[in-house]
Chains A and B, each alone.
Chain A
Amino acid sequence: MSTKDLASENGGQTHITRRTFLRAGGLTMFGSVLAACGGGTPAVPSGGAGAAPTVAGAPVVLKGATVKFLGAPWSFLPALDGVIEAFANDWATQNGVTVTFERDAQLLPKIQTAIETKGGANIIQYSSPPAIFSKALADVSDIAESIGSEGGGYLPAGPYQMVFDGKWLGVPIGQHNWFINYRQDWLKEEGLDTFPDTWEEALAVGKKLKAKGRPFGMTLSDQAGGDGNAVPRLMLWAFGGKEFNPDGSLALDSPETLAALEFCIQLHNEAGDPGEVGYDDGANNAAFLASKISMTANVNTIYLPALEKNPEVAAGMNHALPPQGPGGRFGYGQLPWWGILNHTQGADLDAAKDLMRQFLSIKNFSTFYKAGQGYILPLLPNYESEPIWPADPKLAIAKDMFKLARPAGYSLPNQTKLAALMQDKIIIGKLFSQALSTGNARAALDGVMKDIADLKLLA
């Protein structure tokens, strides 16, 4: 067998030997290394799918500036990326500014790299509280205040999450809000047209559904950064519980919290999926799409994919406001925001601010909300009369939902380090998960209060 041949012939068949395998690979690689070392391909702005909102003229001084945008892709609804990029590209063309977009699902290391190397990004889009980057973010109070004033003043969740040391570190672009996703077809079999308006009524019908193998599936768990922070708080607030008093003192250890826990233990035992105490962010979606549960609290990330890929589930389901409890009815808002890294200076800073100010104004940003179909809701009351609300009647509750939002850490006026740590460690999710797992509300609360005492040392 000749070692010079790339393939050795044997009985009419071609065999690839180790040597030929390596040689063929090596030749190809060598050429590519040369190409790769010639310089990385720069990020190329891609044209957006959505129609570009109107761009107003901007000062001439922006010409020549560069704005680098860094955020996670809206993979669930790529049209949202399209709206942003269409506007920004149009704005950039009109103002002689270069705009680039960098999108990555694993955002945190990228933001850290941009901060430490003072490059790679000017505007960042993120969802966790901006306070964690407080030393790296520019003051954008002027933009937030003008946008807020145009929209009728931010709902409390806005300044709560964005203001740190008296400055707006980011401008919220809206809120993800959790509403009840339920199987209307199954409820009709129990004699109900819509989901009950109170938790007591929900428990009653939940018992019947569970008896038929159709339990509720709420993410009362500490394994989910989104749902695990949202759903337990919906229950806590519905029964009058809260984490903090307005003066910053802890308010979690209260009869109201215990009442919420006791109710949820009953709801879990008599109407819930046993696995809900360990759900991660995708587990309730998967269980609902598999028709294993009859109700969960979620954004529209179950319904929209189901319309396309699981039409039976989409046809049978509907959405409702979270039921009210003795403490009232509340939503939970998780706020994506845009901020400017403070290494952005001069014309680049002016350009970044101008882009944000123009895009986030009501006349331009409405397109973004409309494309979201309820996935992301406004934080400004004046949007109520704008034509941004989902046309699909099954998502119509979005309009009623957006004003109900409370932030994590309620009722602090602004988020504290301790409140941020409790959110980061999913402490309220842990409280509910442990109470439901053990059936002992008091012990779970005592355990979590010890955790909070430990977190205070870090705060």
Chain B
Amino acid sequence: MQVAQLTRNARRSLPFYFLLGAVIVIFLFPFYWGLITSLKFEVEIYDFSGNFLVPKNPSLANYMTLFRAPNYFIWFWNTLLVSAVTTAISVVISVMAGFAIARLRFRGAALAGTLVFITYLAPKNFLFVPLAQILKDWGLLGGLPALMLTYPTNLIPFCTWLLSGYFSNVPQEPEECAMVDGASRLGAIVRITLPMSLPGIITAAIFSFTASWNELLYSVAFVNGEQNKMLTNGVISAFTGGDSFAWGPLMAAATVSSLPVALLYLFFTDRFVSGITAGSTKG
């Protein structure tokens, strides 16, 4: 009887797992393709005979080529630094703005929230020229601080919108209790509300970090010099030329570059999931 029940359940679950498997394959295949390309020699990359999904003579030569690129580690560090600083700036400002929109019942709060989000929809292609002019006037055009200041202009609107939604779903009573017990509003926010909102804040931080890590347009337009390049821009410049693409080193760069973001997700997956699903269920 139990065996029959198990078989029935397995049959019922089969389509679900089949679909799940297909989705996983579709999503992971590009990463797999990048990984195996990074392990192949140039000749093998273009050889589609036999089982080309497994490298015939796996080699780390492309990684060596990548690491020997004169400024690779500088680009990597620049990207890590700018992404971290940008994330910190964006999250701090977004927490304050999101809290104000969600909790401080001032006139026009809802409109302010909508307007903040609308600014996120402005295409970067329209914004980079006026931003460049501002940076030049401030004497910041050309160096990494230019990116640390301009990336948040794109990230803060989205994070504010995300966090204002999150703060709306965090119970207000504990914060009020703390204030009754003598805490200032700031103290109540820092000691009560923020710890309760950690999943939302982590979600905003991961979004900011990932978006900064992958950004290309501003990093091209606003910084000068090989020493100031970000990974996205530096690697493309180093390994493409006209119609000639060094796919091996490019895929090695893509693989290595995805590691910090993957690490972030690995450390914060549970928080991230609860952050993005906040408010999705009742009770």
Contacts and interface: CB of A to CB of B under 8 A. Distances in A.
Contacts of B216: 106
Interface of A: 18, 21, 25-26, 29, 32-33, 36-37, 39-44, 72-77, 102-106, 109-110, 112-113, 116-117, 119-120, 176, 224, 226-227, 281-282, 284-287, 289-292, 298-299, 301, 305, 309-310, 312
Given A39-B143, A120-B141, A25 B243 contact: no
Interface stretch (B109-117, B181-189, B226-234, B273-281): B226-234
B46 A290 contact: yes
B191 interface: no
A76 B141 contact: no
A117 B145 contact: no
B56 interface: no
Contacts of A309: 41-43
Nearest to A115: B129
A120 B243 contact: no
Given A25-B84, A32-B77, A43-B226, A305 B221 contact: no
A73 B141 CA distance: 21
Most buried by B among A33, A104, A227: A104
B73 interface: no
A448 to B, nearest CB: 24
B80 to A, nearest CB: 8
27 contacts: A29-B80, A29-B84, A32-B77, A32-B81, A33-B85, A37-B145, A40-B142, A40-B145, A42-B224, A43-B224, A75-B241, A76-B242, A76-B244, A103-B226, A103-B237, A106-B216, A112-B129, A113-B128, A120-B141, A120-B142, A120-B224, A226-B242, A282-B243, A291-B46, A292-B48, A305-B244, A310-B43
B162 interface: no
B132 A117 contact: yes
Contacts of B267: 18, 21
A73 B241 contact: yes
Contacts of A44: 225-227
B36 interface: no
A41 B245 CA distance: 29
A321 to B, nearest CB: 20
Q: A-B pairs with the 4 shortest C-beta distances?
A: A40-B143, A76-B241, A290-B46, A75-B241
B118 interface: no
B81 A29 contact: yes
Interface string B225-269: 111100001001111111111000000000000000000000110
A301 B220 contact: no
A112 B221 contact: yes
Given A103-B226, A281-B242, 6 more contacts: A36-B143, A113-B129, A116-B129, A227-B243, A285-B244, A310-B42
B224 A289 contact: no
A260 to B, nearest CB: 23
Interface residues of B, number: 47
Looking at B216, B228, B268, the one whose CB has the most chain A CB atoms below 10 A away is B228
B237 A73 contact: yes
B95 interface: no
Interface in B190-240: 216-217, 220-228, 233, 236-240
Contacts of B228: 40-41
Contacts of A18: 267-268
Interface of B: 41-43, 46-48, 77, 80-81, 84-85, 128-129, 132-133, 136, 141-146, 148, 216-217, 220-228, 233, 236-245, 267-268
B229 to A, nearest CB: 8
A40 B225 contact: yes
B47 A75 contact: no
Contacts of B133: 116-117
Contact of B244 (A32, A41, A291, A301): A301
A286 B46 contact: yes
A73 B238 CA distance: 8
Nearest to B136: A117
Nearest to B85: A33
Contact of A41 (B46, B80, B227): B227
A43 B128 CA distance: 21
Nearest to A40: B143
Contacts of B245: 282, 285
* Among A37, A39, A109: residue with most chain B CB under 10 A: A109
B236 A105 contact: yes
Contacts of B148: 33, 36
Contact of A119 (B85, B136, B221): B136
A282 B216 CA distance: 21
Nearest to A111: B221
Contacts of B84: 25-26, 29
Contacts of A109: 128, 217, 220-221
Contacts of A110: 220-221
Contacts of B240: 75, 105
A290 B44 CA distance: 8
A230 to B, nearest CB: 11
A299 B225 CA distance: 30
Contacts of B80: 29
Contacts of B233: 104-106
A29 B48 CA distance: 44
B258 to A, nearest CB: 17
Which residue, A21, A25, A113, A224, has most C-beta atoms of chain B within 10 A? A113
A336 B164 CA distance: 51
A264 B254 CA distance: 39
Contacts of B223: 40
B41 to A, nearest CB: 8
A320 B227 CA distance: 42
A301 B243 contact: yes
Nearest to A76: B241
B10 to A, nearest CB: 37
Given A282-B243, A285-B243, A116 B46 contact: no
A120 B221 CA distance: 10
A344 to B, nearest CB: 16
B81 A106 contact: no
A167 B106 CA distance: 60
A106 B236 contact: yes
A120 B243 CA distance: 27
A120 B141 CA distance: 9
Contact of A75 (B224, B227, B237): B237
Nearest to A225: B243
B237 A105 contact: yes
A74 B241 contact: yes
A76 B244 CA distance: 7
